[in-house]
Structure 1
Amino acid sequence: MQTGRMRTELISVPGDPARPNEDYASVGLPASGLGGSLVVLDGVTPPASASGCLHSVPWFTARLGGALHELSLSRRDLTLAQVLALAIGRTADAHRATCDLSHPRTPQATVVVARWSAGAVEYLVLSDSALLVESPGGAVTAVLDDRLARLPRSALASEAAVDAALRNKEGGFFTAAADPEVASRAVTGTLPRAEVRTLTALTDGAARWVERFGEGDWADCFSLVREKGPRALVDRVRELELADARGAAPRRGKPHDDATVVYAEL
């Protein structure tokens, strides 16, 4: 999509065509042409055990993502952390009467939000999705919430260990679930608009190109998206996943994951 000098591209591909895509992505460009926002969520797939909720992860990401999309554009008086807190509260209110929101595996998601105006670019990252920021000179900075990556691998030996000791707790990592206070844990910042040329947001299913398969660094990943488009990145990740599955010792984790990329030239 192009509006004036701005160009955006978005792709979101399920890891398994037989399962609903648990990611969410949107780009908001007001008719005024003044500013905009992007939102990317990666829903956390629950284990087979009960989550205490009647609703699916796609239901949750659609609700939370929709609230973030609207509030990031309509409530410019709020910081992005405040916007996230309000969106989490609104989503929780939509199902607190029917569901146990205190359950550790209540529906939840990682979050990337970026918002721009004539003078500034604001960003927020919570958990292991990524935001790549390109300067006018071509330098690429990865904005990451790396708390999950910094945990000892022994601590991630089982889903039960993650739920019981690490998820949304001090010393662990944080995702957007039902507690608005988690918004204060996000990585946030503001840059002058003149220092930002392009934004690229990725869920970890697309970020596997860097983090799991080591095809290049974040700058290389950005270059692939810019030159060949988001589809090229996702297609290459799928090729690498298939090759990995055929290997003698496949890696831990899902063979394929939902993969979402949003690219925005400001």
Structure 2
Amino acid sequence: MELPRSCYRRRSGPAVVLLDGAGIPGTESICAHGVTWYTHRLGGALLGRLSRDDGRDLGAILAATIGEVAAMHRGTCDVGHPSSPQATVAMVRARRGRLDYLLLADSFLVLDQPDGGPQVLTDEREANARRACSAPLAGVAEGTPEYDWPGVLDLLDADGPIDVIRRVRRAEARAAGGPDARVPDDATVAHCAHLPRSEVGEPRQPAAT
């Protein structure tokens, strides 16, 4: 599946990284490189650090990598400006019977648990986004497979991420003419199957820099 240019999704061994870049058009004077450049540099550097499999804390890995990418263009761009390119981050690592994860901003991790149904995780600081994601998908009719998380997981198992996104886009298109029509945002799904049974670790957040 072709990703939006501002998104990044890669896997290296037991680690997966998914980023969704964010930026404001017309801010070239702040950063000449742009969101796509930033997202792919950050994602590639994160995956490189994770591939070392040294068990380092995910928050420390992310903080160090953000600093590394900032240093790449600090001399030409205003990296401290709030409109400088940035990205949401989802990092997952299975290591020695433990599943570690880090979620920054409105990224979500859905764990298909053998008992108790799906567990939906996100950045605790994104309370509004978390409520929106935990609710049924906007624009999707009740009773359809993609209406709730168990249905979404079944669709992922059967047909993969492309079909899930295609169904959501169709639902958005049906609602496009209504008063509550929304402009579709980027949509990227990383489906990790056949992972070893692992204990889920505590959520990690970036270390202070």
Q: TM-score, normalised by structure 2?
A: 0.79
Secondary structure of the structure 1 residue equivalent to 2:93? strand
Q: What is the aligned counterpart of 2:163 among 220, 232, 235? A: 232
Distance 2:69 2:186 in 1: 22
2:3 and 2:188 in contact (8 A); partners too: yes
* Residues 1:223 and 2:154 are matched in the alignment: yes
1:26 and 1:40 in contact (8 A); partners too: yes
- AA at the equivalent of 1:249: P
Question: Structure 1: where are the runs of 5+ without partners?
Answer: 1-10, 15-20, 30-35, 152-203
Distance 1:135 1:72 in 2: 25
- Aligned counterpart, 1:200: none
- Aligned counterpart, 1:5: none
2:23 and 2:83 in contact (8 A); partners too: no
1:12 and 1:261 in contact (8 A); partners too: no
* Residues 1:27 and 2:6 are matched in the alignment: no
Q: What CA RMSD, in Å, does the superposition of the two structures yield over aligned residues?
A: 2.5
* Residues 1:78 and 2:6 are matched in the alignment: no
Distance 1:76 1:218 in 2: 33
Secondary structure of the structure 1 residue equivalent to 2:190? strand
Distance 1:228 1:74 in 2: 32
Q: How does 1:36-55 map to 2 (within 5 A)?
A: 36-50=14-28, 52-55=30-33
Deviation at 1:241, TM superposition (A): 2.1
2:15 and 2:94 in contact (8 A); partners too: yes
Q: How does 1:1-266 map to 2 (within 5 A)?
A: 11-14=1-4, 21-29=5-13, 36-50=14-28, 52-137=30-115, 139-150=117-128, 210-214=136-140, 215-245=146-176, 247-252=177-182, 255-265=183-193, 266=195
Measured at CA, do residues 146 and 27 of structure 1 come closer, stay the same or move farther in structure 2, by a change above 3 Å?
A: same
Distance 1:219 1:70 in 2: 33
Which segment is superposed worse, 236-245 or 123-132? 236-245
Measured at CA, do residues 13 and 39 of structure 1 come closer, stay the same or move farther in structure 2, by a change above 3 Å?
A: same
Question: Structure 2: where are the runs of 5+ without partners?
Answer: 141-145, 196-209
Q: TM-score, normalised by structure 1?
A: 0.64
Identity over the aligned pairs, expressed in percent?
37
Distance 2:136 2:52 in 1: 34
1:209 and 1:216 in contact (8 A); partners too: no
CA displacement, residues 90-140 of structure 1 (integer Å, 9 cap, x when unaligned): 111111111001111110000000001232110110111111112234721
- AA at the equivalent of 1:248: G
Distance 1:208 1:241 in 2: 18
Distance 2:93 2:150 in 1: 21
Distance 1:100 1:61 in 2: 16
Measured at CA, do residues 227 and 262 of structure 1 come closer, stay the same or move farther in structure 2, by a change above 3 Å?
A: same
Deviation at 1:250, TM superposition (A): 4.0
Secondary structure of the structure 1 residue equivalent to 2:75? coil
2:9 and 2:18 in contact (8 A); partners too: yes
Deviation at 1:251, TM superposition (A): 2.8
Higher RCO structure, 1 or 2 (CA under 8 Å, sep 6+)? 1
Measured at CA, do residues 150 and 79 of structure 1 come closer, stay the same or move farther in structure 2, by a change above 3 Å?
A: same
Distance 1:67 1:210 in 2: 35
Which segment is superposed worse, 106-115 or 134-143? 134-143
Distance 2:91 2:29 in 1: 26
2:120 and 2:134 in contact (8 A); partners too: no
Distance 1:100 1:28 in 2: 32
